[in-house]
Amino acid sequence: MKQFLFVFIIFMGFTFNSCNTMKNEKIAIDVLIVPSEEMYSQALQLNSAIHNNNPETIKLDENHIPHITLLQGFIFEKDLPKVENVLKDVFESIKKEDLNAEKFSYSKNEAKSFAMISVEKSQKLMQLHEEVIEKVKPFLQKNASENAFVPNPDGSPISKSTLNYVPNFLKKYSYRNFDPHISLGVADKKVLDSLERNVFKSIDFNAASLSIYQLGDHGTAQKLLWKSE
């Protein structure tokens, strides 16, 4: 009986410590806007052509969704319900507002370039960006390891550029430096020239949802954690 109790206590201690460790793990999150259908579809179309030209670049799909980042950072996994709670009513301020796909952006001075859809930095979008920061900032942590990210399928490490970008988002890429966009990937300039002329359309669109995703490598939104009702 004593041996049984000893084993049971050890087991319960292991279970408690494992659960506690899990809750105190940090995760890399992206608070983002998912664009409405027409903009979402156009982003997929543009990315498909880019990916065909350069299979090594990002591939947008159900696990790497087109999105407009509002804030990236690290939080404790145990704080996720609190972050969800402070953001639950924020979507109301933007869901009926028109957003504009302003231009197809890439470097025209390089043979190969990263491309994105630049979104107009409207007053309403800036207000949403700043409100999200204000509400989530108390939960942000300064740094985390690559374990905070969704692992790469091939087992390769999370890139250094990603590990450096996320903890610096608030300081370097927010407020006056906020650059709302939908990332599309890297391709040859001649392909991007053709997409700008023949495929990209500057359109007004809406936000389909405000969501929280766990980040994967290269700023990809991979694992849905929460979305606005």
Domains of the chain, start order: 29-227 (3.90.1140.10)
Angle among Cα 4, 8, 13 to the nearest 5 degrees reads 150
According to the model, what pLDDT value does residue 24 have? 80
Is the pTM for the entire model greater than 0.85? yes
- How far apart CA 6 and CA 153 sit, in angstroms, is 41
27 close to 198: Cβ distance less than 8 angstroms: no
User: CA nearest 71: which of 1, 125, 21?
Assistant: 125
- Cα dist from 75 to 21, 83, 142, 166, whole Å: 14, 9, 9, 11
Structure tokens belonging to residue 35: 């664009």
Look at the block and give the residue holding tokens 């990937």. Answer: 185
Helix/strand/coil percent split, the chain, to 5? 45, 30, 30
According to the model, what pLDDT value does residue 229 have? 76
DSSP alpha helix (H) spans, the chain = 2-23, 37-53, 80-87, 123-136, 160-165, 169-172, 189-198
* Torsion (CA) 144, 81, 176, 46 in degrees, nearest 10: 80
For the chain, residues with pLDDT lower than 70 are 1-23
According to the model, what pLDDT value does residue 10 have? 40
Amino acid making up residue 23: K
